[in-house]
Each structure stands twice: as structure tokens, then as C-alpha cells.
């Protein structure tokens, strides 16, 4: 598409979960850390079988879509459907196993609690760190600094290491930096759910403001009321596949039909 800023072309992504199972904890430790004289891992007792289970999780399966400049796209679906994986691929937190993902523009992302923030640094230091990650110069961060602090409501905690922040404070700081830096693309995951109601409303208003300024918004949420009010278009994801790409009310109706 001529005006598209985000492109997914036949993208697949899978994760492998490997679980080692042994008969006894002491034997597990022995096999992992103690070698016999031959240099091999310690032998097992007769009749005790170890197994390695490989579980392949297909997060996305041949997914294709485009997002236009200034569009607000919602992504909904059951837990584990692949919604957050899409955001991680757009923000380059991870890479696809096959297919191609392109995103043109500066990305502001709040896709995991604390993503882009360092727990040992203070709130003040993290504002400059996250700003640098977003490609902002120090002077640009300084110009936005007071607005970020005011929006996050963390003035009293500004010089405290953020590892002492609550989950809600983490979300406030991350969201404040992501939106106040006015990125070209704003990615928001369900992490906002950890905030209190008044802050959630403030975030909602800020997302609408970002959309009105022409910022491309990709919003993953189980809050279907927010999806309807913010998004121009919605993808419904299930088992790593797009099963609907429609207007918000039609996609939400389809979601209810698979959930009932």
C-alpha cells in the first residue's frame, strides 16, 4: 500500500518450550552439574527414564496485513492468540521465523511492564534512557521532561530507583515517555490495565490525542469499549491467524461469536 507505514508479509513466528523431567531432584542436579570419569553426565538408576518434551508454540502462522499512516488499529483475541507477538515484531523486540515485517518511522512502545526501562536507574535517569532508545537527543528529552513527569505523576519519586516503584508507577512512567515523545508509531499493549482508573482515562485521552495528530496507533486490549472508541479497524486473532479484519463493531461481534 502506498500510504502504509507497517507491513506484515506472510509472517510466521514460533517458540519452543523445552522441559527436562527426571525422577529425583538430586538426580537432576547430578546430571546438570556432575560428570562421571568418562566426561559424560552421571548415569541414571535402572528403570528411571529421563525425557525431553519439545512443545512448539506457533504464535503467528502466515500472517499478512498493512497499517496506513495515521490509522488506529486494534488487535483483539483470546489469551495466547499472538496479539503481543505482533507488537514485539513491529518494535523489533523479536524477529520473524519467516516472512517480512517493516515499520517506517520512530516507534514508541509500551508492550511489557518495564520494557525500555532499567530497574536500577532512577525515574529521572530512565526518562533520558528511554528517550535515547526512541532516538531523541538530550535537548529534545529536556524540552519534554516536565510534561513527562507531570503526566506520569511521579514527581515525588523522580530520584528513586524504579525497582521500588509499583507496577502502576512503572506503567505510568513508560506510557508517559512513549506518548510525550510524539513517535510516528505508538504501540500499546494490555499493560495499561495495571494502572488505576483515573490514570487509565488519562491514557485513553492521550491515545485519542495521538491519533488526532496523525500518529499511527496499534492497540492490543481486552477492553472492547476502548477498542471501539479509539480504533478505525480491528484485527481478530485466534491460534496465530487473522480470522477477521473489519470495522471495530464487526470484529468485536465476531469475537463474541468465537467466545460464546
**In the predicted model, what is the mean pLDDT of the chain?**
83
Domain assignment present for 131 = yes
| pLDDT of the residue at 183 | 86
- Is the pLDDT assigned to residue 24 strictly greater than 70? no
Domain assignment present for 208 = yes
pLDDT band per the 50, 70, 90 thresholds, residue 177: confident
| pLDDT of the residue at 169 | 86
User: Rounded to the nearest 5°, which phi and psi values hold at 64?
Assistant: -135, 135
CATH of residue 126's domain is 3.40.50.300
Set of cell numbers at residue 34: 556432575
Domain assignment present for 61 = no
- Is the pLDDT assigned to residue 37 strictly greater than 50? no
DSSP letters of 84-146? HHHHHHHTTSS--SEEEEEE-S-EEEE-STTTT--TTSBHHHHHHHHHHHTT--HHHHHHHHH
Domain assignment present for 25 = no
Domain assignment present for 240 = yes
Structural domain for 108, as ranges: 69-259
Domain assignment present for 83 = yes
Domain assignment present for 149 = yes
| pLDDT of the residue at 46 | 44
Query: 172: number of CA atoms within 13 Å, CB side?
Result: 25
Domain assignment present for 32 = no
Per-residue pLDDT tens over the stretch 99-120? 999 999 988 887 766 666 888 9
Going through the chain in order, the beta strands assigned E by DSSP cover 4-21, 51-68, 72-76, 98-103, 107-110, 185-188, 216-220, 233-238, 241-246
Query: 83: number of CA atoms within 13 Å, CB side?
Result: 27
Pairing of strands 216-220, 233-238: unpaired
pLDDT band per the 50, 70, 90 thresholds, residue 2: low
pLDDT band per the 50, 70, 90 thresholds, residue 47: very low
Strand partners, 17: 55
Per-residue pLDDT tens over the stretch 221-240? 988 998 999 999 999 999 99
Q: Is the whole model's pTM more than 0.85, yes or no?
A: no
**Cα 236 to Cα 57, 64, 192, 219, 242, distances in angstroms:** 19, 13, 20, 12, 6
Per-residue pLDDT tens over the stretch 115-164? 668 889 999 999 999 888 777 889 989 999 999 999 888 899 999 999 99
* Overall number of domains in the chain: 1
Amino acid at each position: 500500500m502506498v500510504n502504509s507505514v507497517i507491513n506484515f508479509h506472510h509472517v510466521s513466528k514460533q517458540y519452543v518450550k523445552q522441559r527436562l523431567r527426571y525422577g529425583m531432584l538430586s538426580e537432576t542436579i547430578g546430571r546438570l552439574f556432575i560428570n562421571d570419569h568418562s566426561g559424560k553426565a552421571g548415569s541414571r538408576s535402572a528403570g528411571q527414564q529421563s525425557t525431553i518434551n519439545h512443545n512448539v508454540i506457533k504464535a503467528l502462522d502466515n500472517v499478512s496485513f498493512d497499517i496506513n499512516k495515521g490509522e488506529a488499529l486494534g488487535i483483539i483475541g483470546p489469551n495466547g492468540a499472538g496479539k503481543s507477538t505482533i507488537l514485539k515484531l513491529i518494535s523489533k523486540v523479536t524477529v520473524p521465523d519467516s516472512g517480512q515485517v517493516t515499520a517506517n518511522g520512530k516507534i514508541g512502545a509500551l508492550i511489557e511492564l518495564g520494557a525500555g526501562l532499567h530497574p536500577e536507574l532512577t525515574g529521572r535517569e530512565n526518562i533520558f534512557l528511554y528517550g535515547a532508545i526512541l532516538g531523541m537527543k538530550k535537548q529534545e528529552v529536556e524540552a519534554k521532561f516536565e510534561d513527562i513527569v507531570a503526566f506520569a505523576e511521579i514527581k515525588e519519586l523522580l530520584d528513586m530507583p524504579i525497582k521500588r516503584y509499583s507496577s502502576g508507577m512503572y506503567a505510568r512512567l513508560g506510557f508517559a515517555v512513549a506518548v510525550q515523545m510524539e513517535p510516528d508509531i505508538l504501540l500499546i499493549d494490555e499493560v495499561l490495565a495495571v494502572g488505576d482508573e483515573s490514570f487509565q482515562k488519562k491514557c485513553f485521552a492521550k491515545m485519542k490525542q495521538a491519533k488526532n495528530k496523525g500518529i499511527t496507533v496499534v492497540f492490543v486490549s481486552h477492553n472492547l469499549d476502548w477498542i471501539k472508541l479509539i480504533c478505525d479497524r480491528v484485527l481478530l486473532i485466534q491460534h496465530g491467524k487473522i480470522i477477521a479484519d473489519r470495522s471495530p463493531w464487526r470484529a468485536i461481534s465476531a469475537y463474541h461469536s468465537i467466545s460464546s
